[in-house]
Amino acid sequence: MKKLFGLTIITIMIMSIVGCSTDNGVEFNSSRTINVITREDGSGTRGAFTEIVGILEGGENGEINDRTYVEAIVQNSTDAVMTSVTGDEYSIGYISLGSLNENVKAVKIDGVEATAENVQNKSYKISRPFNIAYKGDLNPLAEDFINFILSTEGQDIVVNAGYVQVGTDLTNYERGKELEGTLVIAGSTSVTPVMEELVQAYKEIYPKVTIEIQSTGSSAGMQAAIEGTADIGMASRELKESELAELTAQAIAMDGIAVIVNNNNPVEDLSLEQIKSIYVGEITEWNEVIE
C-alpha cells in the first residue's frame, strides 16, 4: 500500500511539472514545442509585427533582415492563421485585432489586453495603421467613396467593426447625385473585413455602383495601385518609401495585432521580449513562458 501511495505521489508531481489542467479538463503538456505560425512575405501584418516586436534587424550593408524562426509555419491569410491555431493547442500566431473571435485566445502583452480601447490610448504596444493608397488624381467615384470612409458614418463602421477611428474632427457624409460605375480595391487580407463592411454600406446608398475587393496582400495591393490594375490599394502597415514615391496614402483606421494561442493553452500574458524570443527561435518550449 505504501509503495502504491508513493507511486501516486510521484505521478502527481510529474504531471504538475509537465502539464497544466485547462478549463475544459484537457491536459496541456507545457514541455511541448511551441509551433510558431507567421504570415507570408509581403503581408502587411507580418511587416508591422516583425518591426514592432523587434524581429527585423539591420545588416552591415544597410539591408533589413527578418529573423523570423526558420521553423515557423507560414500562412498566407488571417483566416489561415486562425484555423491553424484553432486546430493546434501548442501553436502561437498573430492576426488583426478586428478579426479576433472566440475560436482563439488573445494573450495580454506586458499585462495589457488586446482591445480597441487600449490601442486608442496607446497602452497596447502592438498596433499599426490601416492605409489605403492611390496613384495620381482620383476619379469622382473613388474620391466620393474615400470621403464616405472618412466621414462620421464611415468611421462609425470602423469602430463597430472593432477598430479605432482616425481623427476626431469628423463630418457627416453628404450624399450627392446618383453615382454609378466600378471600383477595384486590392490588398491586405487584414483590411478586407472592414473594407467589405464599408463597401456594403456605400452600395446601399448607391446600388448602381460595383466595387470589387481583391484580397491579395499589402505589397501586392500597393503594386496593383501603382500599375493601375486597382483604383485603390489596401495596406495593413505604413507604406514603404518606394511606394510613397508613387502613391498617395491615407489612414482609414488603427488596428491592434493580437497574439493568439489555442483556447486550451493556459498562457494568459506574455512580455514583448518573450514574444520576440519565441519568434526568433530562442524560446522553443511552452514551459519557458508558463509559470
Output the average pLDDT for the chain: 90
* Mean local confidence (pLDDT), 5-10: 45
How many whole angstroms separate alpha carbon 84 and alpha carbon 93?
8
How far is it, in rounded angstroms, from Cα 185 to Cα 91?
Answer: 33
pLDDT category at 62 given cuts 50, 70, 90 is low
Question: Looking at 28-32, 163-167, 180-184, 280-284, which range is the least confident one?
Answer: 163-167
Does the pLDDT of residue 9 top 60, yes or no? no
pLDDT at 275 exceeding the cut of 80: yes
pLDDT at res. 24: 52
Q: What's the 3-state SS for the chain?
A: CHHHHHHHHHHHHHHHHHEEECCCCCEEECCCECEEEEECCCCHHHHHHHHHHCCEEECCCCCEEECCCCCCEEECCHHHHHHHHHHCCCEEEEEEHHHCCCCCEECEECCECCCHHHHHCCCCCCEEEEEEEECCCCCHHHHHHHHHHCCHHHHHHHHHCCCECCCCCCCCCCCCCCCCEEEEEEECCCCHHHHHHHHHHHHHHCCCEEEEEEECCHHHHHHHHHHCCCCEEEECCCCCHHHHCCCEEEEEEEEEEEEEECCCCCCCEECHHHHHHHHCCCCCEHHHCCC
pLDDT tops 60 at residue 18: no
pLDDT digits (tens, 9 = 90+) for 149-189: 999 999 999 999 989 999 888 999 998 888 999 999 999 99
| pLDDT on residue 101 | 94
pLDDT band at 6 (very low <50, low <70, confident <90, very high): very low
Instruction: With CA atoms as reference, report the closest residue to 35 among 290, 291, 283, 264.
Output: 283
Region 258-273 average pLDDT: 97
pLDDT of residue 291: 73
| Arithmetic mean of pLDDT, 51-57 | 92
pLDDT at residue 169, rounded to an integer: 87
Please write the tens of the pLDDT for every residue from 201-235: 999 999 999 999 999 999 999 999 999 999 999 99
Q: Please, which pLDDT band fits residue 90 given cuts at 50, 70 and 90? A: very high
Domains of the chain, first to last = 18-127+257-288 (3.40.190.10), 128-256 (3.10.105.10)
Alpha-carbon span 216 to 218, nearest angstrom: 7
Using a pLDDT cut of 70, give the percent of the chain over it. 90
Choose between 243 and 60: higher pLDDT: 243
- pLDDT above 80 (res 68): yes
63 vs 51, residue with greater confidence: 51
Average pLDDT estimate for 102-115 = 97
pTM over 0.85: no
According to DSSP, the residues that pair with 109 across neighbouring strands are: 112, 270
What is the pLDDT, as a whole number, of residue 14?
A: 45
Q: Is the pLDDT of residue 104 over 60?
A: yes
